[in-house]
Amino acid sequence: MKHISILVPHQAMLANVEGPRQLFQCVNQYYAMQDKPPLIHAELVGISPEVKLRDGTYAIRPDRLIADVKKTDLILIPAMDGDLKQALEANSAFVPWIVSQYKTGAEVASMCVGAFLLASTGLLHGRKCATHWMYASEFRSMFPEVELVVEKIITDEHGIYSSGGAFSYLNLLLHLIEKIADRTVAVFCSKLFQIDIDRSTQSPFVIFQGQKDHEDEPVKKAQEFIENNVSEKITVDQLASMFALGRRNLERRFKKATNNTIAEYIQRVKIEAAKKQLETSRKNINEVMYDVGYSDTKAFRTIFKKITGLSPMEYRNKYNKEALVLA
């Protein structure tokens, strides 16, 4: 039987605690239907006898405390609500226990911004990790040694797993169930809980915000110029000349401040503008393309799909109700 420890950290997101428990019950339900014994023993594990959430609106009483769990097979780290630095401080007692369990054979998985607690253990050093796209800049700032893959909803390396944002954790759970049991059981659970089992990216949901939490004023001005001139063809040399910087100097500073090259930033700003038009307007694809400064249809479609995971037409049909009515 697989022993799974679902952590109950302070400031935990309730769905990330109850959701896994229900899905693992689903696995055992499937086995019972086959006249087989339960496959999973899942417990809520905490550092306090009671954890109050949402200013006391909810309270969770863990089944066991970490000191009582000498050996487990899988640790699940839920997302945490509120100030994440405060959450890490409040839950620091979990860190040595997680590291110790991993070193003795346990696997570890984080859900959504639970990745912050996982990264604080040091186990992600030099490895890939996913989290909610909205917290990408904060994560990179706090854990520069971790390779953040914003577009992914699942990472799986050396017995360490992570999920993308929000309800992407359900896909991670299906992935884990498939590894613990098999594909048939994972499909059964996906049908019972109506989860799209093949979803592999959160790119269609990402809203590009630009990284402006830095102190490099010329770079901030370059970002603002790019964002205010989305229909124009902007070059690196043009920006370097505007701000009296050498090309290489500007490129280096821009990459350091924003985690994007200038070319990548321009592309993302243009595609974000295109996405907004596709969501709200009746313009056709070519009209939107011209509005955001592209003249090559193939290049526009290629870049759009690279960033969003969808073609412009697929994106419009997904998010624009009027477009569906007109179609």
Q: What is the DSSP string of 140-191?
A: HHH-TTSEE-TTBSEEEETTEEEE-SGGGHHHHHHHHHHHHS-HHHHHHHHH
The pairing of strands 154-157 and 160-163 is antiparallel
Which CATH number goes with the domain that contains 313? 1.10.10.60
Same domain, 133 and 159: yes
Domain assignment present for residue 212? The answer is: no
Work out how many domains the chain is built from and give that number: 2
Same domain, 118 and 182: yes
Q: Which domain holds residue 168?
A: 2-205
Same domain, 194 and 270: no
Q: Taking 50 as the threshold, does the pLDDT of residue 325 lie above it?
A: no
CA distance 325 to 145: 47
CA distance 191 to 185: 10
Q: Using alpha carbons, select from 121, 113, 139 the residue that is nearest to residue 12.
A: 113
pLDDT for the residue 327: 47
Please, what is the angle between helix 312-319 and helix 297-308, to 10°? Answer: 50
Please, what is the angle between helix 312-319 and helix 262-280, to 10°? Answer: 50
pLDDT tens profile 57-100 = 999 999 999 999 999 999 999 999 999 999 999 999 999 999 99
Same domain, 145 and 237: no
Same domain, 141 and 75: yes
Domain boundary among 183, 205, 227: 205
Give the chain's mean pLDDT. Answer: 95
Domain boundary among 205, 234, 255: 205
Same domain, 163 and 198: yes
Domain boundary among 205, 237, 268: 205
Element (H, E) at 57: none
199 contact partners, CB below 8 Å, separation of at least 6 = 153, 168, 171
Q: Taking 70 as the threshold, does the pLDDT of residue 326 lie above it?
A: no
pLDDT tens profile 233-249 = 999 999 999 999 999 99
Amino acid letter, residue 211: Q
Same domain, 56 and 97: yes
The answer to whether 175 and 196 have CB atoms below 8 angstroms apart is: no
Same domain, 187 and 225: no
Same domain, 111 and 182: yes
Q: Global pTM?
A: 0.84
Mean local confidence (pLDDT), 299-303: 96
Q: Can you point out the beta strands (E) in the chain?
A: 2-7, 40-46, 51-53, 58-60, 64-65, 74-77, 107-110, 128-129, 147-148, 154-157, 160-163
